[in-house]
Amino acid sequence: MRKPGGRCPGCGADVREHVVQAREREARIERVVAIVSTVLVLGVSLFAGGCSVVEGVMAYAIAGAAMWILAKRTFYAR
């Protein structure tokens, strides 16, 4: 729902600062998740290169679970 003129339609409070802070927080979270996932992909690729198929699949599953836990803690309300 769009807030006309940066004001809450219910109470008339200025919401522009809140929106800016929320967007900055989301941008920081996206950067952290991108960096961590890139490091995990590179690390797992290097590690799994010498593994058998089963070990490689397990390594990717563990890395995927780690990213899911990180994203869950980051994006969902506690």
The answer on pLDDT for 24 being more than 80 is yes
Predicted TM-score (pTM) of the model is 0.55
pLDDT of residue 3: 44
- Amino acid in the structure at residue 51: C
* Mean pLDDT, range 41-59, rounded to an integer: 79
Q: Give the integer Cα–Cα distance in Å for 49 and 46.
A: 5
The residues, any chain, with a CB within 8 Å of residue 3's CB and separated by 6 or more, are 9, 15, 19
**Residue 35: pLDDT band with limits 50, 70, 90:** confident
